[in-house]
Amino acid sequence: MITFLNRFTLTGDPEEFEKAFDETAAFLREQPGLIQYTLSRQLDDPASYINIALWESADALRAALAHPDFGNHAKAMRGLAESTGAIFNPRLSFEASAEA
């Protein structure tokens, strides 16, 4: 499993960006290998978002991003935000226990 981290800095309307992200994410949910993603907005800087996505492998992520239809889905998002992304390998993890 890998983690894809993508930071967005808005250049457009937040509601439009979230809608465009959701439409792009709908396409990615249909691609093999996506496990989970979370889009979060920074509390102290509402023009800053981060997407944390878990994929089965870097190859699965790269195949989804290279899909011929991906560019059409991401076009609206790119018009509303600048982004930088990177792929990470998990090294350490923690999960809280359910015990009180």
Return the domain boundaries, the chain.
Answer: 1-49
pLDDT in the model for residue 80? 96
pLDDT in the model for residue 100? 60
pLDDT (average), residues 59-84: 94
Buried b (16+ CB within 10 A) or exposed e, 16-45: ebbebbeebbeebeebebbeebebeeeeee
For 30-70, what is each residue's pLDDT tens digit? 999 999 999 999 999 999 999 999 999 999 999 999 999 99
**Percent of the chain, pLDDT > 70?**
99
Report the CATH fold assignment for 1-49: Alpha-Beta Plaits (3.30.70)
Answer whether residue 99 shows pLDDT above 90: no
